[in-house]
């Protein structure tokens, strides 16, 4: 743990970093029966072999090792991840030399997503003690169609630095087929988060909550603003609203992923009202987009974008097509 001093109070605090990172198709190299993962196999069009897999693991672990390292040498106490195929790739990731000493634990289950990609939560036991975990399978098919699912929503209830908290990890349905054609699915995911967090607060008195993920919507979209209750300022929040520090980044033109020369800020960490007022010893301190120079592509068609793993079906040795994000929570010593 790192003890730091604020400029305002000279009070010593324990710092906990909570991060989220879309790992851009972290698959194993096997063709798994019942899962549409052939493109990420050695025989598939991406020629996704062991050399690619282990290079990608090394690169992703480097990024994780450096997130918030200027605030705490332990890096993220919790990190939500998306676009991972199974628990095996996570086990291989946390064993990478750059982060192995942190002894990350894994919370994960295989979802019903057709491509076999999931969300998961990694945590350091010295900071976080999980209690219960709930998974919500989000149906994305229309009535009358064969049932199909998006990625699960993972909500873990536990204690962070000894304080009760709920952490929700998300990868909401994509905009494939058009933003408006799929907007109802992201609203559905947001409304479920809102319902579950309200229930925790009402029936279990757990007010502290974090919603993190690749939301496939920006901070100003209706799913985030209306259904989840995200707000850009923290001074006037009511209990059913949440503070979204990434809205101000978005309004400044910053983002975490890019498409057709336009930035989006789909990767967000949104914070309950209790963590930004005086109700809890655990308090929000700041939020960042982690985008050092080496995570930006320097040449080619995607110059200036996040440095991705693949470009037009060819492995180019990048990291991910998303930048990670993180927030710092602090507790008085």
Report the CATH number that the domain containing residue 279 is assigned in CATH.
Answer: 3.60.10.10
Residues 62-112: tens digit of each pLDDT:
999 999 999 999 999 999 999 999 999 999 999 999 999 999 999 999 999
pLDDT above 80 for 8: no
Residues 189-228: tens digit of each pLDDT:
999 999 999 999 999 999 999 999 999 999 999 999 999 9
pLDDT at 5: 45
pLDDT at 33: 85
Helix 50-66 and helix 87-94: axis angle, to 10°?
Answer: 60
* Dist CA 131 CA 235 (whole Å): 31
Query: How far lies 212's CA from each of 160, 216, 271, in Å?
Result: 16, 12, 9
- Judged on CB neighbours under 10 Å (0-12, 13-18, 19+), 167 is buried
pLDDT at 114: 87
Q: Mean per-residue pLDDT for 267-287?
A: 93
In Å, the largest CA–CA distance within the chain is 62
* Dist CA 75 CA 223 (whole Å): 30
Domain range enclosing 185: 3-332
* Dist CA 313 CA 333 (whole Å): 50
pLDDT above 80 for 9: no
| pTM, two decimal places | 0.96
| Reported confidence tier of residue 178, pLDDT bands at 50, 70, 90 | confident
Q: What share of the chain has pLDDT > 70, as a percent?
A: 97
Neighbouring CB atoms inside 10 A of 181's CB total 10
DSSP codes joined into one string, 299-318: SSTTTTSB--SEETTEE---
pLDDT above 50 for 171: yes
Q: Mean per-residue pLDDT for 13-18?
A: 96
| Reported confidence tier of residue 142, pLDDT bands at 50, 70, 90 | confident
pLDDT at 279: 74
User: Among residues 171, 257, 153, which one has the least CA distance to residue 214?
Assistant: 171
pLDDT at 3: 46
Residues 25-52: tens digit of each pLDDT:
999 999 988 888 999 999 999 999 999 9
Question: Is 25 in a helix, a strand, or coil?
Answer: strand
pLDDT at 242: 98
**What is the tally of structural domains in the chain?**
1
pLDDT above 80 for 4: no
pLDDT at 1: 43
């Amino acid at each position: 743990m790192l003890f730091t001093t604020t400029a305002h109070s000279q009070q010593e605090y324990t710092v906990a970093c909570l991060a989220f990172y879309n790992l851009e198709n972290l698959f194993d190299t096997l063709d798994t029966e019942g899962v549409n993962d052939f493109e990420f196999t050695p025989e598939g069009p991406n020629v996704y072999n062991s050399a690619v897999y282990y290079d990608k693991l090394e690169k992703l672990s480097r990024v994780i090792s450096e997130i918030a390292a200027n605030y705490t040498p332990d890096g993220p106490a919790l990190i939500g991840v998306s676009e991972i195929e199974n628990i095996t790739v996570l086990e291989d990731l946390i064993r990478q030399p750059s982060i192995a000493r942190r002894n990350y634990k894994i919370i994960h289950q295989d979802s019903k997503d057709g491509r076999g990609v999931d969300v998961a939560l990694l945590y350091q036991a010295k900071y976080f003690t999980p209690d219960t975990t709930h998974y919500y399978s989000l149906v994305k098919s229309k009535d009358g169609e064969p049932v199909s699912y998006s990625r699960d929503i993972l909500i873990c209830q536990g204690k962070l630095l000894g304080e009760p908290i709920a952490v929700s990890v998300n990868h909401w349905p994509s905009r494939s087929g058009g933003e408006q054609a799929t907007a109802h699915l992201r609203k559905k995911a947001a409304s479920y988060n809102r319902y579950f967090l309200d229930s925790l607060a009402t029936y279990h008195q757990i007010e502290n909550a974090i919603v993190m993920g690749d939301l496939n919507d920006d901070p100003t979209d209706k799913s985030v603003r209306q259904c989840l209750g995200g707000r850009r300022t923290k001074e006037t929040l009511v209990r059913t609203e949440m503070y979204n520090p990434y809205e101000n980044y978005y309004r400044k033109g910053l983002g975490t992923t890019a498409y057709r020369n336009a930035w989006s800020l789909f990767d967000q960490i949104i914070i309950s009202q209790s963590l930004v007022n005086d109700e809890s010893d655990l308090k929000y301190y700041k939020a960042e987009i982690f985008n050092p120079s080496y995570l930006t592509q320097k040449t080619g068609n995607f110059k200036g974008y996040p440095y991705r793993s693949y470009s037009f079906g060819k492995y180019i040795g990048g990291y991910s097509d998303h930048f990670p994000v993180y927030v710092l929570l602090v507790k008085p010593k």
